[in-house]
């Protein structure tokens, strides 16, 4: 009740000259106020995958336009590529044209392409911060709703639709309605072995999947401050599952250290100059958001979803909720439908639920720290008989690093498949699909009906929980397996 009361609290008036982090970045990118809450904004970076880029380039070609700023546009194939070892452009024949078209268009229009076979290729939201394309205070858009991910480095980033992709390609600008601000503070410290994936799932479960609608979210507080950048990227990734297009963590020394010497980051004196500017971006002391929420981070335990929305989530030692306890008829019917689809019974513990597949990957949890978390649980153990385990690194550089430091070998020795970079089993758009009726523990971000395949049953969790479940053969608390 306290959370919902605070969420509904009206905005306090900020002292004169005091601004939120979001407001500072938005205001400096505004070209013109279009009225009725809409602004024309400059776009600093546009990143593309093979699906949305195709229509945008066709629009340019068919209307005689050119790409407005080729050097500010970056692309990689990720959604419909195979992640099987030794994969090629034609490994999934029905999508070959998308990959070859992106390749041809890169040569024709001059944008940077991280192609198959390039160790920099990977999931677009993984490579953007990894390459230093996403930067603090920069606007970044992509035709994908999880573009909010790179708010973890302090970028102002959000997903856009096909018509907006065309507009950005032609003008390097975008028309947007200014959202309100929502600051979510994770107070106190996280318990040992609790991840940022657990934090964001817990938050969505408490507030609901529509609670961020119309807001740009800033994640703050000591528990967020203590996270490394990769964990912050995971936190921001599920902002859209909270209902918000934008999620951000204000930049700090942790951010600057991460971005230093990235390929597309400023270099030398320019980096020092950039850092001086970035230090001015965090919310001013006394600045007020439109709404405020406080979360006790110390209360969070490993989280796992039980239903067909990210808000259908419980602690791993809790029971599956009974629809009779729902606070509305609408929610009661939704819970009943979710339980039927997931083939689960209310009142039973979520742990010990038998599983068929474990997927560790996606733009949510496929970075090196995620691979390390899974390997830490799996070391010296074996995937349970009858369970298929996949680990799909988020980029070629993540794959290379994990192979160099031995974590890939640990996972392979445990019985996990070690794949090539791509979106893989996050979404049923490639050859990594969950069969109907099969149950998966997935580190991805969506557990909607059919998300991983027609009739697939998805439980969202952290890499540690996913790895522990693969070894146990059922949904398992990773703290029980860690040595």
* Domain residue spans of the chain: 2-8+19-32+178-254+277-299, 38-176, 303-480
What architecture is the 2-8+19-32+178-254+277-299 domain classified under in CATH? 3-Layer(aba) Sandwich (3.40)
Secondary element (H or E) of residue 31: strand 30-35
Cα separation of 54 and 351, whole Å? 43
Decide if domain 303-480 falls under CATH 3.30.499.10. Answer: yes
Query: 1-5, 15-19, 41-45: which has the minimum mean pLDDT?
Result: 1-5
- Model confidence at 10: pLDDT above 50: no
Distance of CA 245 to the CA centre of its chain: 12
| Beta partners for residue 459, in sequence order | 441
Average pLDDT of the segment spanning 172-181? 98
pLDDT of residue 352: 96
Is the four-CA dihedral 345, 349, 355, 357 of positive or negative sign? positive
Domain 2-8+19-32+178-254+277-299 and domain 38-176, same fold? Reply is no
pLDDT of residue 12: 55
Cα separation of 457 and 434, whole Å? 8
pLDDT of residue 91: 95
pLDDT of residue 52: 82
- The residue with tokens 């929420």 is 293
- Quickly state the pLDDT bin for 6 (edges 50, 70, 90): very low
pLDDT of residue 3: 45
Query: In sequence order, which residues have a C-beta less than 8 Å from that of residue 230 and are 6 or more positions away?
Result: 152, 367, 368, 369, 370
Homologous superfamily in CATH for domain 38-176: Aconitase, domain 3 (3.30.499.10)
Whole-prediction pTM value? 0.96
9-12 LR contacts (CB < 8 Å, sep 24+): 9/291, 9/292, 11/288, 11/289, 11/290, 11/291, 12/288
Mean pLDDT over each residue of the chain, to the nearest integer: 95
Q: What is the pLDDT of residues 105-160, one digit of tens each?
A: 999 999 999 999 999 999 999 999 999 999 999 999 999 999 999 999 999 999 99
386 backbone φψ class: left, alpha, beta (φ>0; ψ -120 to 50) = left
Q: What is the pLDDT of residues 265-281, one digit of tens each?
A: 999 999 999 999 999 99
């Amino acid at each position: 009740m306290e959370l919902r009361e605070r969420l509904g609290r009206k905005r306090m008036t900020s002292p004169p000259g005091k601004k939120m982090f979001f407001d500072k970045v938005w205001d400096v990118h505004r070209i013109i106020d279009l009225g009725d809450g809409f602004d024309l904004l400059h776009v600093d970076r546009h990143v593309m995958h093979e699906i949305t880029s195709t229509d945008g380039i066709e629009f340019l070609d068919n209307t005689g336009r050119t790409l407005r700023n080729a050097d500010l546009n970056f692309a990689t194939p990720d959604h419909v590529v195979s992640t099987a070892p030794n994969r090629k452009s034609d490994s999934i024949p029905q999508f070959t044209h998308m990959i070859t078209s992106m390749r041809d268009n890169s040569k024709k229009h001059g944008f940077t392409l991280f192609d198959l076979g390039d160790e920099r290729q990977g999931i677009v939201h993984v490579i953007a911060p990894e390459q230093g394309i996403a930067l603090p205070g920069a606007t970044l858009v992509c035709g994908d709703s999880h573009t909010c991910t790179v708010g973890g480095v302090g970028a102002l980033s959000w997903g856009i639709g096909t018509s907006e992709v065309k507009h950005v390609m032609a003008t390097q600008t975008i028309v947007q309605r200014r959202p309100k601000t929502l600051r979510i503070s994770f107070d106190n410290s996280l318990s040992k072995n609790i991840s940022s994936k657990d934090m964001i799932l817990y938050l969505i479960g408490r507030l609901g999947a529509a609670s961020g609608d119309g807001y740009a979210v800033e994640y703050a507080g000591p528990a967020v401050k203590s996270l490394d950048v990769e964990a912050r990227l995971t936190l921001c990734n599920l902002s859209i599952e909270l209902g918000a297009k934008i999620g951000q963590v204000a930049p700090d020394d942790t951010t600057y250290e991460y971005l230093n010497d990235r390929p597309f980051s400023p270099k030398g004196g320019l980096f020092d100059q950039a850092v001086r500017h970035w230090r001015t971006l965090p919310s001013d002391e006394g600045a007020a958001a439109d709404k405020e929420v406080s979360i006790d981070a110390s209360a969070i335990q490993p989280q796992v979803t039980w239903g067909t929305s990210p808000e259908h989530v419980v602690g791993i030692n809790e029971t599956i909720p009974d629809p009779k306890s729902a606070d509305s008829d609408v929610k009661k019917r939704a819970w009943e439908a979710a339980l039927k689809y997931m083939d689960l019974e209310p009142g039973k513990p979520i742990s010990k639920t038998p599983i068929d597949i474990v997927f560790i990957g996606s733009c949510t949890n496929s970075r090196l720290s995620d691979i390390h978390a899974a390997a830490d649980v799996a070391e010296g153990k074996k995937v349970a008989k009858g369970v298929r385990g996949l680990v799909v690194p988020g980029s070629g550089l993540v794959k290379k690093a994990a192979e160099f430091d031995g974590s890939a070998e640990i996972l392979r020795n445990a019985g996990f498949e070690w794949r090539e970079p791509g979106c893989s089993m996050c979404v049923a758009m490639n050859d990594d699909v969950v069969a109907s009726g099969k149950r998966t523990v997935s580190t991805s971000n969506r557990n909607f009906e059919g998300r991983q395949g027609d009739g697939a049953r998805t439980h969202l969790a952290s890499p540690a929980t996913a790895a522990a479940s693969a070894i146990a053969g059922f949904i398992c608390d990773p703290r029980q397996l860690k040595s």
